[in-house]
Structure 1
Amino acid sequence: MNPSTSPSPLQDPHADAEPMGQVTAPATVRIERLLPGTPERLWSYLVESDQRALWLAGGPMEPRVGGRYTLHFKHEDLSPTVEPAPAPAELCSDGDIGEHGGTVLEWHPPQRLVLSWPEPAGAPPSQVVFELAPAEGDRVRLTITHSRLASRNSMLSVSGGWHTHIGVLVDRLAGRTPRPFWSSFQRMKQAYEPVVTAAWR
């Protein structure tokens, strides 16, 4: 991978889509969104199982540093639009993601949550940082930074995956019918592929 100290914006081919994430360092992707609400409200969507299940995955999380969490991914439940899951070879992941878990590394409600994130094939865990900060008016800036990714495939999978999951959250907060997950993920995987691939050369 070619290290770079300056962020590389990932250009979205869809003019009306949300802003793309950035490759901010080797094996690191960062995505930001402005969301309606307060940090306290958005914090519940990160740590409470029933709220998190609306956009990412449900599952218990111990509210302390060193606590354990488990995520139960059910992508088919994120939208009322029913779509078949892609074949495993099309998911751009080194392993199957149905249920996984890790450790709470930092717990600072309602501003910062840091989790270890399992990597496939026995690789050391990667790390996900969630940050919430007041922005303009009644909006909150959500920043998700996923670092220490083990491979190009892992980086591509989480880039497209986080972008799509956050899109579902945006729909939920706006009171819209959530977008279908799998077709959105496939489109975003294609959008992220050129820069992610270049970062691993």
Structure 2
Amino acid sequence: MSTSRLRQLQRDDLADEHKPVYDAIVESRGAVAGPFGVWLHSPEFADRAQRLGALVRYETRLDSRLSELAILVTARAWDCQLEWTLHEPFATEAGLAPELIEAIRLGQYPEFDRDDEQTIYDYVAELVYNRFIQERTFATALDLLGDGGIVDLTGLIGYYSMAAMTLNAFQVPLPKGRKPTLVDCPTFR
């Protein structure tokens, strides 16, 4: 995959001291793709971002269903075609109902079968759309997640907001063969 505003760096393009960053990204994610192709233009940033990304996605107190819900709400708020299109299958695999995913995709308030999903949705949506969280929403999320869990959730939202901003600012295209699933958002080529 290439970026449309910056060229895709290969391992050999990096100084020897930065090649381990490239290797770590490939080892943890299988390839340099998404925002990582952009971030490698600043190897120190790429290194810290990929480690933070691994932490917030795979090593938090949140189960994958709730993490993917938070990622989808964040991607939708940023109208980030790539982030949404890549994470929608993960959300389905993690157990989110198709109707819930579709409502978020359409920008509608979903109907919830599970209280924990409503709690996560409300917290994320308030933060990414309103930039603040109401006391009641915060208290409900804190009850569900505890102190560490609510910090993990907020960090995940921040990380995926940063990724979405990068993907949109640098117009990172979808991988070849992937069709966009957010029909009202830009698709970069």
Q: Which structure has more RCO (C-alpha within 8 Å, separation ≥ 6)?
A: 2
Q: Indicate the structure with greater strand content.
A: 1
- Bigger Cα Rg: 2
TM-score, normalized by length of structure 2? Answer: 0.31
TM-score, normalized by length of structure 1? Answer: 0.29
